[in-house]
Amino acid sequence: MGAIKTDHFADRQNNTATLAKALTHPARIVNIDFLLSVDSCICRVIGNILPIAQPGVSRHLKELKNAGLVKGNIDGKSTCYCIDEKVLAKFQPDFTSIATKIGKERNRCCYPMKKNNHKII
């Protein structure tokens, strides 16, 4: 597989795609939901509360942090995580716009196919 040529896209599109990619695992959605319900949390506490083993929690929080959705502050041997509200607010309009467009009935893509004249894929 070739390298993705992100330089062909606007920064906003690349950044939105990075955030969307970070949300592609259910464990990350669970982490985000949990962090949205509290002000901040220590990683090992998340592992005790959520149905995810500690190494998985750490790995998924790292992906969310790399995407900028989550901030982490190191306190001794523990890392305290929270949602980066500024990043979330910055990209919320893009996600809302995409979700709204997807939610609309869109029948203008293809004409109905006739069974005998066209393959239906």
How far from the centroid of its chain's Cα atoms is residue 90's Cα? 14
Entry pTM = 0.73
If you average pLDDT over every residue of the chain, what do you get? 82
Distance of CA 93 to the CA centre of its chain: 14
Of the pLDDT bands very low, low, confident and very high (cuts 50, 70, 90), residue 116 is: low
> So what's the pLDDT on residue 39?
79
pLDDT at 77 over 90: no
CATH architecture of 8-103: Orthogonal Bundle (1.10)
Beta bridge partners of 81: 41, 72
- pLDDT value at 120 more than 60: no
Residue found under tokens 């949390």? 41
